[in-house]
């Protein structure tokens, strides 16, 4: 069961410290499982839950090198949306958004999903044309999106500066009203509790060092810090170092890892009613339930496994945010952090079977991993259980980098968070 301390909850509310996170007892791994999932983040825990609930597979272990939800799931910036350009992406993210809408009820755990809307600003003619292209594509795919004039954008988000003399003048905005935010790591806790209740083992502080194959080339199990664990199927669903682990099974992945930085300000009273994103300045802003402004940037310009990132990159983002929202110029930064994002050449994920029998991979989400959580977990469970991809994730196969049939959201997805 999840355990909270009233004192630590109060301390968290006052200081922003995170030592109140649920403490999960480490399960002792068994010698053999039907399925081992590497990565106890939202995607991995969600896949375990759906394997048990929808496919009746409960002899499952979710293994993580650290603590539950302690990777990118605990470092994201809460944004949920589905207004992507390409058909394949729109179907994936809208499937996730449909699940987000009922997730708290599904798990009987409040993930704090708030459909406050995501507004994407247009600062030049190219932005206007690009967002109108998004609007038409979204409507064809049944995804809600609408165009706002500068005056309508300011009415929706009063702190926005729409002065024509501004450094980044606002020429309009695209608004997805169904989009919004959720508590960044609550989804992992909710899935963990629900999966554990159905018999799934959650093994923390147990690094997986290699994937072992048998004499026929099929998956045999995983080597870990606690010894070898035999498994009929293995699914890797972990951000960062995925290519290193998959290489031990003889599977090469076209991934690069980058730091992705964000920060929160000192807490203030409610002032920011939605999420605002800007492709031109490459930044986004929302306000958390504790009153902090959540500010994020794009990926750093260099590859790294750092969870800190470089200060100049975040300084550029903060300067741009102050230009778009002058009211925040005197706000003070409370803390900053970085996550590790794996990106593919087309900035779309790999979620499918691999050439190795019994081995599945879910990676390469770049900056889109959190918003996809329930959808990606749901179709990953389907793929593992049936040994075939769900129609939604079928296009996200590894072979597309050989055939050239890419899903190129690299530029199409705007700031992509």
pLDDT attached to residue 412: 53
Tokens 């706002």 sit on residue: 148
- Specify the range with the lowest mean pLDDT, choosing from 5-9, 21-25, 49-53, 236-240: 5-9
Q: Is residue 107 assigned to a domain?
A: no
CATH code: domain of residue 247:
3.50.50.60
Contact 348, 89 (CB under 8 A): yes
pLDDT at 169 over 50: yes
In a domain, 111, yes or no: no
CATH number of the CATH domain containing 317: 3.30.9.10
Higher per-residue pLDDT: 71 or 20: 71
Q: Would you say residue 258 has pLDDT above 80?
A: yes
Q: Could you read off the pLDDT of 202-214 as tens digits, one per residue?
A: 999 999 999 999 9
Query: pLDDT grade, residue 113 (50/70/90)?
Result: very high
> How far is residue 252's CA from residue 202's CA, in Å, rounded to a whole number?
27
HEC string of the chain equals CCCCCHHHHHHHHHHCCCCCCCCCCCCCCCCEEEEEEECCCHHHHHHHHHHHHHHCCCCEEEECCCCCCCCHHHCCCCEECCCCCCHHHHHHHHHHHHHHHCHHHHHCCCCCCECCCEEEEECCHHHHHHHHHHHHHHHHCCCCCEEECHHHHHHHCCCCCCCCCCCCCCCEEEEECCCEECCCCHHHHHHHHHHHHCCCEEECCCCEEEEEECCCCCEEEEEECCEEEEEEEEEECCCCCHHHHHHCCCCCCCCEEEEEEEEEECCCCCCCCCEEEECCCCEEEEECCCCCEEEEEEECCCCCCCCCCCHHHHHHHHHHHHHHCHHHCCCCEEEEEEEEEEECCCCCCEEEECCCCCEEEEECECCCCCCCHHHHHHHHHHHHHHCCCCCCCCCCCCCHHHHCCCCCHHHHCCCCC
Considering the domain boundaries, does residue 417 fall inside one? Answer: no
Claim to verify: residue 14 and residue 158 sit in the same structural domain: no
Which of 343, 370, 397 terminates a domain? The answer is 343
Q: Are 27 and 166 part of one and the same domain? A: no
Please report the pLDDT score of residue 25 as a whole number. 57
Q: Is the pLDDT of residue 274 over 90?
A: yes
pLDDT at 23: 57
Specify whether 229 is located in the same domain as 353: yes
Among 319, 343, 367, identify where a domain stops. 343
Q: How confident is the model at residue 2 (pLDDT cuts 50, 70, 90)?
A: very low
Count the domains in the chain. 2
Q: Are residues 286 and 316 in the same domain?
A: yes
Q: What is residue 24's predicted lDDT score, i.e. its pLDDT?
A: 57
pLDDT (mean) for 70-74: 89
Does position 384 have pLDDT exceeding 50, yes or no? yes
Question: For residues 139 and 303, which has the higher predicted lDDT (pLDDT)?
Answer: 139
Q: What is the mean pLDDT of residues 376-403?
A: 97
* 189 lies in the same domain as 320: no
Average pLDDT over residues 168-172: 96
Domain identity same for 160 and 33: no
The answer to the question of residue 105 being in a domain is no
Q: Label residues 304-342 b or e (16+ Cβ within 10 Å = b).
A: eebbebeeebbeebbebbbebbeebeebeeeebbbbbbb
Range of the domain at 373: 6-77+185-254+345-412
Structural domain contains residue 315: yes
**pLDDT-based confidence at residue 260 (cuts at 50, 70, 90):** confident
- Residue 409: predicted pLDDT: 83
- In this structure, are 239 and 225 located in the same domain? yes
Q: In the prediction, which pLDDT does 17 show?
A: 41
Q: For the purposes of burial, counting CB atoms within 10 Å of the CB of 15, is it exposed (0-12), middle (13-18) or buried (19 or more)?
A: exposed
Q: Are both 379 and 337 inside the same structural domain?
A: no
What is the per-residue burial (b if ≥16 Cβ within 10 Å, else e) of 274-285?
Answer: bbbbbbbbbbbb
The pLDDT value given to residue 7? 36
Query: Does position 19 have pLDDT exceeding 50, yes or no?
Result: no
Q: At residue 102, does pLDDT exceed 90?
A: yes
Task: Quote the pTM value.
Answer: 0.92
Give the whole-number percent of the chain exceeding pLDDT 90: 77
Q: Are residues 376 and 232 in the same domain?
A: yes
Let me know whether 337 and 265 are in one domain: yes
Could you tell me if residue 86 is inside a domain? Answer: no
Domain boundary among 343, 366, 393: 343
Q: How confident is the model at residue 248 (pLDDT cuts 50, 70, 90)?
A: very high
In a domain, 125, yes or no: yes
Q: What whole-number percentage of the chain has pLDDT above 70?
A: 92
Task: Express each pLDDT in 281-332 by its tens digit.
Answer: 888 999 999 999 999 888 888 888 877 777 788 888 999 999 999 999 999 9
User: Would you say residue 155 has pLDDT above 90?
Assistant: yes
Is 31 domain-assigned? yes
240 and 222, same domain (yes or no):
yes
The whole-number average pLDDT for the span 25-49 is 92
* 271, 204: one domain: no
Q: What is the pLDDT of residue 168?
A: 93
Q: Is the pLDDT of residue 415 over 70?
A: no
């Amino acid at each position: 069961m999840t355990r909270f301390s009233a004192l630590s909850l109060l301390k968290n509310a006052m200081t922003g410290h995170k030592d109140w996170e649920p403490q999960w007892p480490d399960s002792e791994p068994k010698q053999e499982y039907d399925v081992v999932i590497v990565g106890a983040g939202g995607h991995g825990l969600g896949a375990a839950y759906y394997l048990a609930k929808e496919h009746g597979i409960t002899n499952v272990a979710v293994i993580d090198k650290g603590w539950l939800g302690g990777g990118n799931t605990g470092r994201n910036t809460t944004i949920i949306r589905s207004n992507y350009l390409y058909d394949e992406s729109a179907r994936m993210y809208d499937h996730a958004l449909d699940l987000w809408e009922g997730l708290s009820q599904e798990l009987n755990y409040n993930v704090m999903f708030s459909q406050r809307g995501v507004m994407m600003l247009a600062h030049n003619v190219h932005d206007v044309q690009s967002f109108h292209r998004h609007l038409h594509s979204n409507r064809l795919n049944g995804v809600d999106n609408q165009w706002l004039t500068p005056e309508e954008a300011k009415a929706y988000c009063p702190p926005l500066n729409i002065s024509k003399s501004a450094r980044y003048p606002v020429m309009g905005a695209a608004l997805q009203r169904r989009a919004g935010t959720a508590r960044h790591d609550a989804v992992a806790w909710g899935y963990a509790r629900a999966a554990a209740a159905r018999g799934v083992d959650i093994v923390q502080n147990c690094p997986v060092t290699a994937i072992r194959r048998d004499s026929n080339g099929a998956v045999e199990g995983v080597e870990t810090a606690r010894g070898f664990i035999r498994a009929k199927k293995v699914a890797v669903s972990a951000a960062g170092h995925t290519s290193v682990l998959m290489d031990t099974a003889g599977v090469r992945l076209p991934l690069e890892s980058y730091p992705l930085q964000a920060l929160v300000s000192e807490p203030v009273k409610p002032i920011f009613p939605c999420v605002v994103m800007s492709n031109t300045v490459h930044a986004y802003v929302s306000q958390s339930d504790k009153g902090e402004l959540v500010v994020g940037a794009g990926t750093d310009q260099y590859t790294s496994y750092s969870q800190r990132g470089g200060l100049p990159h975040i300084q550029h983002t903060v300067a741009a945010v102050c230009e778009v929202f002058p009211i925040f110029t005197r706000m003070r930064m409370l803390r900053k952090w970085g996550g590790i994002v794996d990106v593919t050449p087309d900035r779309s994920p790999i979620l499918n079977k691999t050439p190795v029998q019994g081995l599945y991979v879910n990676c390469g989400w770049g900056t889109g991993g959190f918003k996809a959580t329930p959808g990606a977990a749901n179709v990953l469970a389907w793929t593992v259980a049936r040994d075939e991809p769900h129609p939604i994730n079928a296009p996200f196969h590894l072979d597309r980098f050989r055939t050239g049939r890419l899903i190129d959201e690299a530029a199409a997805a705007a700031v992509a968070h």
